[in-house]
Structure 1
Amino acid sequence: MARKQSDYLAALLDDEAAAPSPAPPERVRGTTLLGRESALARVASGEVRQVTQLLLDPARVRIWPGNARSYAHLTEAGCRELIDSIIAEGGQKVPAVVRRIEGDAAHDYEVIAGTRRHWSISWLRANNYPEMRFVAQVATLDDEAAFRLADLENRARADVSDLERARNYAAALKTHYGNHATRMAERLKLSKGWLSKMLKVAALPDAIVAAFASPAEVQLKPGYALAQALDDPAASAAITAEAKHLVEEQAALREDGLPPLPASEVLRCLLAAPHRHIAAPVPIVCTTPHGRTALSVQSVGRQGVTVRLHAGSGVGPDELAGMLRHALGELERQGRGLQR
C-alpha cells in the first residue's frame, strides 16, 4: 500500500500505538518498573492508545456487506499467493480490521478490511491447517468510516473490478452521502470528475453487462463510453438488442467448451450496434404448398447459422436446397448473412 494511503488509513482508524522501546539489558529492575509505569500513564492520559490483536475463529466473523469485493467470487487460485505466504510465515502476519456486532447469534465481528485474509484463513482451516486463526484488530467505526477504510484497501487490489467498485460507490453515495457526489469525493479524497465517471459506469444495466464473459471485464474507460451511448434512447434499444444476441453467443461458446468473446470484441459490437441496427429480423420459415414446414432458421451468430430440416414435409433434396438458398438470401437482406 502506498505511503499516502497508509497515512490516510492510520488517520482514519486513529489507533496508532507508540509502544515504549524495550529497556536495554543493563537497566536495573527498578528502572524497568518505572518505565512500565510511565508507559501505563501515557496510555491512561490518551497520549498512547493500546491496540489489541485478536485471534479469532473466522467462522464467527462475517463479511461487512458494504465492501466492494465479492466474497463469493474469491477462489483458491485467486488467493494462492496469500495462502502460500500465510503457510510460509506460520500464520497471518498482517491483521484485518473488524468491528463488533450485536444481535447476530452466529457472529461476533464483521470484516471491514481484510476480506481475502478471512477467506484464505477459512480455506486453510478446511484444508489441513485447522490451527490457523484469523488475526484481527478491532476498530470502532460507523458505516461511513467503514466504507472509506474498505475502499482504501480495495484501491490497490487488481482483483476488485472497476464495475464492482463503481456499484459500491453508487450504493454508498445514497447510503452515506445523501446523494451529494461532491461531499463523497472530498471524503474519499478522489477527483469529482473521476467519481462521476465511476457512478456513470455503475448505472450500466445488468442486461448489458451480461454480454461480457465476466462483469470484471467491464473497465472504467470503455464502460463509461458504453454508458454514454445508452443515453440515446434509439441507441440504447439497438445496444440492448445486440447484448441479447451476445449473451446467447457467449452461452453457446461455453456449451461448446470454446473461449468466450473477449471484452474488446463485445464492446466493439455493442458500440457499433446503433449504426447498423435495423428493424427486428423476420423469422425465416420455408413451407410446402400444403402448409407444412420444411426448413426453418433456428439461430444466427458469429459462429454460423443453424438451420432445421423438418421431417415429414414431403420435400425432396432439390427443393430443400432451393429453400436453403432462399433462407440465406433472406438473411443477407436482413443484414444477418454469413461473413465471408
Structure 2
Amino acid sequence: MARKQSDYLAALLSDDEIETEAATGVEAASPPPPPAPRPERSRGTTLLGRESALARVASGEVRQVTQLLLDPARVRPWPGNARSYAHLSEESCRELIDSMIAEGGQKVPAVVRRIEGDPDHDFEVIAGTRRHWSVAWLRAHSYPDMHFVAQVVQLDDEAAFRLADLENRARKDVSDLERARNYAEALKQHYGNHMTRMAERLKLSKGWLSKMLKVAAIPDSVLDAFASPADVQLKPAYPLAQALDDGGKAPAIRKEAQRLAKEQASRRSGGRPGVVAADVIKALLAAPEAGRVRPEPKSVLSSHGRPVASVQSSNRQGVTMRLHAGSGARRDEVLEAVRNLLDLLDDEGRGLRP
C-alpha cells in the first residue's frame, strides 16, 4: 500500500508545487541505523553519491518526505473529504485496528497539512481518515503510546480535494452517495460550477460525473427510504434521480418514500433487516403509476341523448376535447358543453387554470 500511495501522490500532484515541512518542534520518526563502515577506497565514491543526491533534492528532481509521529488529538479531519468521519466505528475499522495491533503501529503514513488559527489542532488529515480514527481509538483503548504517522505537505484546497478523491476511489467503504455529494460541493467550492473543468482536473468522464451530480441532488426525505445511505449506488439510483425531476412523478415518489422510511424505522426498532435497496428503488419508481387514477372519459349529451363534446385527455400539456358530429346540438349548445367540461376539469384540479 505504501508504494501505491507514493505512486498516486506523485502522479496526482506532479503539476502542483508542494513543499514538505521539517520536523521542527514535532517528534520525528526514528532515523534508520547508521550504515556499516565502508572500506577506505570507496569513500570517494560515497561522497560523490551524496553530493549527487543533494543536488537532485535541491533541483526539485527528488522530494524529501518527512514522516511525523503525531498525537491524533491534535489532528482534525478535513471537511472536504468524502468520507464521513462521524460514521466511522470500531466495527467499520476493525480490520485496520487489528492490523495496527499485530504490526505494532501504523505502517502506511497518512497525508496531513498544517493549519493556523485553531488552538486545539495543529494539522488536518487530507488522506488517511480511517487511520487517524483507528489510532485515536487505540490510544483510548489500552494503547496510549500509539502514534499517528503522517507526511506533511503544503497544498491548496483544490489539490487537497483531488488527493483525497484519488485515495477514496480505491475504497469500497466510501459509498457512491458520499462521493457524489462530495463532488457536488467541490463543484461549487473549487471549480466555479464548471463541470467540464472539474472532470478534466479529476481525469473523469464528463458523462459519469454528470450522473454523480444528479444522484447527489436526491433529497434526504427520499434517502430516508433506504436502510442506509451507503446502499445508494450510482447505477440504480440514477433513474430515480431523473424521475424526481419530473413534476408529475415526484409527488408520488416522495409519498412512497415517507411510507418506506416508516417501515425501515419499524424494522430497525424491531431488530429486523431493512428493505433492500433494489426493492426500495423498485417501489419508488413504480409509485407514480401505482398511484395514478385514470379518469373515465367525460362527455356532455345533447337534448337528443347524443354526445356533444367529450374530454379525450387532460395533462400538463393541455386539454384535448372532441366535438361530436351528428349530435343535433346547436352551436351555442356545443359552446356551453365545452364550458361545462372545462369547469368540471377545473374543479378536479386538471383544467387550464394556472
What TM bracket, shorter-length normalisation?
0.7 to 0.9
CA contact (8 A) 2:221 2:254 kept: yes
1:130 is the counterpart of 2:144 = yes
What's 1:326 paired with?
none
For residues 231-263 of structure 1, give each alpha carbon's deviation from its aligned partner in whole angstroms, at most 9, with x where no partner exists: 111200000000011111111222222211111
For residues 176-197 of structure 1, give each alpha carbon's deviation from its aligned partner in whole angstroms, at most 9, with x where no partner exists: 0111111100100001110000
What's 2:72 paired with?
58
CA contact (8 A) 2:19 2:154 kept: no
1:101 is the counterpart of 2:128 = no
- 1:109-120 to 2 correspondences below 5 Å: 109-120=123-134
Q: Quick one: structure 1 residues 2 and 93, their matched pair in 2 at CA, closer, same or farther if it must change by over 3 Å?
A: closer
What's 2:12 paired with?
12
Q: Which amino acid aligns with 1:95?
A: P
What's 2:197 paired with?
183
- 1:58-97 to 2 correspondences below 5 Å: 58-97=72-111
Unaligned runs of 5+ in 1: 280-340
Rounded to whole Å, the distance in 2 between the matches of 1:6 and 1:54 is 16
What's 1:155 paired with?
169
Total equivalences in the alignment: 275
Q: Which amino acid aligns with 2:124?
A: E
- Return the offset for 1:8: 4.3
Rounded to whole Å, the distance in 2 between the matches of 1:173 and 1:79 is 30
- 1:258-297 to 2 correspondences below 5 Å: 258-278=272-292
- Return the offset for 1:37: 4.0
CA contact (8 A) 1:13 1:139 kept: no
> Tell me, what secondary structure is at the counterpart of 1:234?
coil
- Return the offset for 1:47: 3.1
For residues 62-87 of structure 1, give each alpha carbon's deviation from its aligned partner in whole angstroms, at most 9, with x where no partner exists: 00000000011111111111111111
Which of the two has higher C-alpha Rg? 2
Percent of paired sites with the same residue: 75
Rounded to whole Å, the distance in 1 between the matches of 2:39 and 2:237 is 64
Q: Which amino acid aligns with 2:161?
A: F
Unaligned runs of 5+ in 2: 21-33, 294-354
Q: TM-score, normalised by structure 2?
A: 0.73
Q: Which amino acid aligns with 2:197?
A: R
Q: TM-score, normalised by structure 1?
A: 0.76
CA contact (8 A) 1:5 1:152 kept: no
For residues 52-103 of structure 1, give each alpha carbon's deviation from its aligned partner in whole angstroms, at most 9, with x where no partner exists: 0000000000000000000111111111111111111111111100001000
Q: Quick one: structure 1 residues 6 and 201, their matched pair in 2 at CA, closer, same or farther if it must change by over 3 Å?
A: farther
Q: Which amino acid aligns with 2:164?
A: A
Rounded to whole Å, the distance in 2 between the matches of 1:4 and 1:93 is 13
> Tell me, what secondary structure is at the counterpart of 2:226?
coil
1:235 is the counterpart of 2:249 = yes
